[in-house]
């Protein structure tokens, strides 16, 4: 019998880029979508709820970078099985860094930044934490930055060592306002929202080339007292003390409004407000009280600009709560957060131009 014809049988081999099962695609897509939506909701909600609703307040002063932990799983997963999702996750990363964590992009084209018209001033603010700063370190900072105005918070009795010889200075409570120009029209504001009275703002004016410049230094209530009320080492959140936290957040809101109203009475002239606001720029309290002024770092700064470092085990996380603000009669050229000088706050230095 003749051999039967041999018909070659071709076995199909799957292409190298065979898609993973649809079920895994769907799971990854859903997880990525929900994660990015969650970030967007947080970014939108922080300016409305941060500082006035206790969960949002905890997030506002917590290590916000922890919100990026899911990306450690989602990004490699998407890179391996569904690369189109990298675009969506990239949007999520942008939302996390920019509106949530407060990343500031350096200005590329700003005519008023490079303008040299008007009188230039350099202002420096720092919470020196009861004179924890070494005088030698401080003098080095002054030599590098050459400020015209210095604002100090939490100063102690020997505060004079932080003010250059021959400068004019006024101290009320623990707040110091110092300038190489004579200080005029000095005044202070005292808060009675707590069980004790304390100075939360000091103001004065200086004459610069015939123009009067108003200066104000503020030091508002810290959020730490409210946050500690609801933190518990065993349970995490102590819901029994939420009422106490809400009361303290209300007092912080009232104080910020009152000080902002007090400062605004001097806004008919060039105005610079600086100090330890204890307010994140993303909070509702900040927006309600201070958004009528230009935030120097938000305007021309680069990076996160964190000014307060808080320990977190072996790590630290930062929050930007020290600010330099100006009204429309003052243009900001540069604003930088300086290196550690020994306090738990970092100094902030801004160069501004007083409009002619």
Is residue 95 one of the residues assigned to a domain? yes
Q: Looking at the predicted structure, is the pLDDT value of residue 115 above 70? A: no
Q: What is the pLDDT of residues 309-323, one digit of tens each?
A: 888 777 789 999 999
Shared domain for 143 and 234, answered yes or no, is: yes
Q: Find the mean pLDDT for residues 153-168.
A: 95
Shared domain for 129 and 88, answered yes or no, is: no
Nearest Cα neighbor of 226 from 252, 241, 245 is 245
Q: Find the mean pLDDT for residues 114-138.
A: 87
Per-residue confidence (pLDDT) for residue 102, from 0 to 100: 95
Shared domain for 254 and 292, answered yes or no, is: yes
List of residues 6+ apart from 72 with CB closer than 8 A = none
Shared domain for 125 and 73, answered yes or no, is: no
Q: How far is it, in rounded angstroms, from Cα 39 to Cα 33?
A: 10
Per-residue confidence (pLDDT) for residue 1, from 0 to 100: 47
Q: What is the pLDDT of residues 251-276, one digit of tens each?
A: 999 999 999 999 999 999 999 999 99
Instruction: Pick 112 or 208 by higher pLDDT.
Output: 208
Nearest Cα neighbor of 331 from 272, 290, 284, 287 is 272
List of residues 6+ apart from 190 with CB closer than 8 A = 173, 197, 198, 199, 200
Shared domain for 126 and 275, answered yes or no, is: yes
Residue with tokens 């509106």: 99
DSSP letter, residue 61? T
Q: Find the mean pLDDT for residues 2-10.
A: 52
In DSSP notation, 55-103 reads HHHHHHTS-GGGGGTTHHHHHHHHHHH-TTHHHHHHHHHHHIIIIIT--
Domain boundary among 74, 100, 126: 100
SS3 107: coil
Token digits for 345?
């706050």
Q: Looking at the predicted structure, is the pLDDT value of residue 194 above 80? A: no
Token digits for 169?
């200075």
SS3 21: coil
Tell me the backbone φ, ψ of residue 193, rounded to 5 degrees. Answer: -80, -25
Per-residue confidence (pLDDT) for residue 238, from 0 to 100: 82
Q: How far is it, in rounded angstroms, from Cα 303 to Cα 173?
A: 33
Domain boundary among 73, 100, 127: 100
Cα 216 versus chain centre, distance = 19
Shared domain for 70 and 177, answered yes or no, is: no
Per-residue confidence (pLDDT) for residue 18, from 0 to 100: 47
Total domains in the chain come to 2
Is residue 6 one of the residues assigned to a domain? no
Average pLDDT over all residues of the chain:
90
Per-residue confidence (pLDDT) for residue 208, from 0 to 100: 92
Local confidence band at 236 (pLDDT 50, 70, 90 cut-offs): confident
Element (H, E) at 264: helix 242-264
Domain of 255, CATH number, reads 3.60.10.10
Is residue 14 one of the residues assigned to a domain? no
Is residue 10 one of the residues assigned to a domain? no
Local confidence band at 240 (pLDDT 50, 70, 90 cut-offs): confident
Question: Which neighbouring-strand residues pair with 175?
Answer: 172
Shared domain for 283 and 135, answered yes or no, is: yes
Token digits for 45?
């909600």
- For residue 29, the enclosing domain spans 22-100
Shared domain for 188 and 315, answered yes or no, is: yes
Tell me the backbone φ, ψ of residue 113, rounded to 5 degrees. Answer: -70, -40
Shared domain for 59 and 135, answered yes or no, is: no
Q: How far is it, in rounded angstroms, from Cα 130 to Cα 156?
A: 5
Shared domain for 115 and 203, answered yes or no, is: yes
Q: Looking at the predicted structure, is the pLDDT value of residue 343 above 70? A: yes
3-state secondary structure string, 323-353?
EEEECCCEEEEEEEECCCCCCCECCEEEEEE
Relative to beta strand 149-153, strand 119-127 is parallel
Domain boundary among 100, 121, 155: 100
Shared domain for 157 and 53, answered yes or no, is: no
Q: How far is it, in rounded angstroms, from Cα 142 to Cα 338?
A: 11
Is residue 222 one of the residues assigned to a domain? yes
Residue with tokens 């770092």: 297
Rg (CA), the chain: 27
Long-range contacts of 35-38 (CB under 8 A, 24+ apart): 35/70, 35/74, 35/89, 35/92, 36/88, 36/89, 36/91, 36/92, 36/95
Is residue 7 one of the residues assigned to a domain? no
Half-sphere exposure of 142 (CA within 13 A, CB side): 20
Q: Find the mean pLDDT for residues 125-153.
A: 95
Is residue 228 one of the residues assigned to a domain? yes
Local confidence band at 8 (pLDDT 50, 70, 90 cut-offs): low
Local confidence band at 21 (pLDDT 50, 70, 90 cut-offs): low
Burial letters 297-316, b for 16+ CB under 10 A, else e = bbbbbeebbbbbeeeeeeee
Q: How far is it, in rounded angstroms, from Cα 264 to Cα 165?
A: 31
- Alpha-carbon torsion, ordered 249, 254, 257, 260, to 10 deg: -90
Is residue 34 one of the residues assigned to a domain? yes
Shared domain for 87 and 117, answered yes or no, is: no
Q: What is the pLDDT of residues 52-104, one digit of tens each?
A: 999 999 999 999 999 999 999 999 999 998 899 999 999 999 999 999 999 99
């Amino acid at each position: 019998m003749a051999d039967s014809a041999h018909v070659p049988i071709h076995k199909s081999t799957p292409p190298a880029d065979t898609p993973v099962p649809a079920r895994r695609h769907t799971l990854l897509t859903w997880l990525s979508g929900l994660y990015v939506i969650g970030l967007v909701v947080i970014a939108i909600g922080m300016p409305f709820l941060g500082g006035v609703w206790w969960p949002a307040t905890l997030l506002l002063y917590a290590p916000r970078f922890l919100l990026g932990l899911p990306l450690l799983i989602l990004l490699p997963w998407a890179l391996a099985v569904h690369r189109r999702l990298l675009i969506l996750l990239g949007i999520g990363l942008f939302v996390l860094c920019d509106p949530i964590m407060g990343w500031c992009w350096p200005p590329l084209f700003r005519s008023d930044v490079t303008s040299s018209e008007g009188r230039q001033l350099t202002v420096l603010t720092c919470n020196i934490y009861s004179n924890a700063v070494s005088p030698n370190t401080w003098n080095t900072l002054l030599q590098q930055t050459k400020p015209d105005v210095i604002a100090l918070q939490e100063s102690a009795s020997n505060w004079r060592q932080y003010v250059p010889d021959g400068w004019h200075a006024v101290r009320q409570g623990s707040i110091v306002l110092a300038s190489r120009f004579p200080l005029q029209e000095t005044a202070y504001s005292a808060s009675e929202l707590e069980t004790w009275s304390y100075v939360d703002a000091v103001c004065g004016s200086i004459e610069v080339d015939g123009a009067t410049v108003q200066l104000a230094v503020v030091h508002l209530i810290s959020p730490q007292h409210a946050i500690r009320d609801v933190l518990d080492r065993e349970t995490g959140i102590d819901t029994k003390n939420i009422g106490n936290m809400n009361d303290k957040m209300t007092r912080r809101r009232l104080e910020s409004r009152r000080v902002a109203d007090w400062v605004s009475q001097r806004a008919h002239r060039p105005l610079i407000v600086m100090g330890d606001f204890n307010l994140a720029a993303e909070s509702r309290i900040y927006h309600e009280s201070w958004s009528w002024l230009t935030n120097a770092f938000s305007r021309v700064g680069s990076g996160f600009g964190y000014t307060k470092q808080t320990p977190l085990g072996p790590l630290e996380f930062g929050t930007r709560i020290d600010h330099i603000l100006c009204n429309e009669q003052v243009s900001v050229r540069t604003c930088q957060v300086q290196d550690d000088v020994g306090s738990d706050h970092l100094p902030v230095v801004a160069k501004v131009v007083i409009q002619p």
